[in-house]
Amino acid sequence: MASSSSGLALLQLGLKMKRVGATPAPQSLELRKRRARLRIRFCSDSEVRKISPGKAAADTLEEWRRLEVKKSSRRVRARATPATPFPSSRSKRLSKQKDFYPRCSSPRNSVPQSRCTPPKRDTGIASEKEWGINLLDEHVNESGINKDGSTWHRESGEERGENGYKCRWTKMGGRSQDGSTEWTETWWEKSDWTGYKELGAEKSGKNVEGDSWWETWQEVLYQDEWSNLARIERSAQKQAKSGIENAEWYENWWERYDAKGWTKKGAYKYGTLNDQSWWEKWGEEYDGRGSVNKWTDKWAAQAKLGTKWGDKWEENFFAGVGSRRGETWNLSPTGERWSRTWGEEHLGNGKVHKYGKSTAGESWDIVVDEETYYESEPHYGWADVVGDSSQLLSIEPLERPPGVYPDMNFGSSPPPRTDNPPDAPPRSS
């Protein structure tokens, strides 16, 4: 149960603001992933995935375990770039959340337990262990009343469809006697004969202070229909709203990996606190052959003062040659806009061309002797995600009858990809 202190309740939501500085020096950012076409829906037969001809994704597991991802010694060290104006954007690995504990892993006659606290900001995509998904092996539909008058319910089942589709699920929840506290949580796993596997969870709730929240999490294994490579994708969406302050926030994280080392990660964030608001989008992509692209775009505003500020930057590198460029800007209450743009061209021979200008009349255009630093490979890649996805990989599909083959007809064009998130949170509690 969340604390009754208003200050602590606001702290749990993690809402704060920080003004942009105009001095150079951004920090590199960790990223998480989202795939819009894998948006969670609860156990529908229409969600059966079709995989292209070739090996089923599950058949390549032993190959993955033998795969060794080389670790690059080159690391990003940003130069002459603007300061970050937002709270901690990324962490090397998501912090352990001790609030995540199993709520349905005990015998059937036990009562499911509540975790009545909002999700935490800037914690990325949680691990399988932190979610503690443990589906019931039997079909149940039960409910009860506790000694304090609160109620609980739990239900589990299995659905089957075409192409060997199977979805096992468990739903549970509870409510206090006066209705001031409420929580629900759903777990599921899906599979079919193409090798597609999915593990997911969704939870929502509210507490006595009026705080409300929603969170969803997902892991997917499938075979890419165009490259025939096995892929693993992970995503998380989180949203919380304060019951005592005019404050709310939303985050969307996604990661994508394939067996040849291609990695793409990204995040989108939005938040408000009274008359202050902020947005942030960032991403990074590694092609598995040494090419890397990273970018960040963020801004903030204070409505009463009429001020806005923000910064953005992007870098592209391959084989020691590449570029960085960006802009820092702010808008005053009188509508006057100040900005500083900058750029770096890394020539691959120990020379770096630096240039820039500002609306205040600053300008520079120089060539300096300087080493080039950047990350040519992700710190967390294919071998890592395979090692951390044991529960996803262990999902058992239905046994396929002899002579029956999965439908793998993808059509003439790839499915649409929607990396850009919506301009606002998808729901409000």
Mean pLDDT by 10 residues, the chain (429 residues): 37 38 35 34 34 39 40 37 32 34 46 75 94 90 94 96 96 94 96 96 94 97 91 98 95 97 97 96 97 97 95 97 98 95 97 97 97 93 96 96 77 42 42
Q: What pLDDT is attached to residue 70?
A: 36
pLDDT of residue 91: 36
Q: Which tokens is 203 given?
A: 């939870």
Confirm whether pTM is higher than 0.85.
no
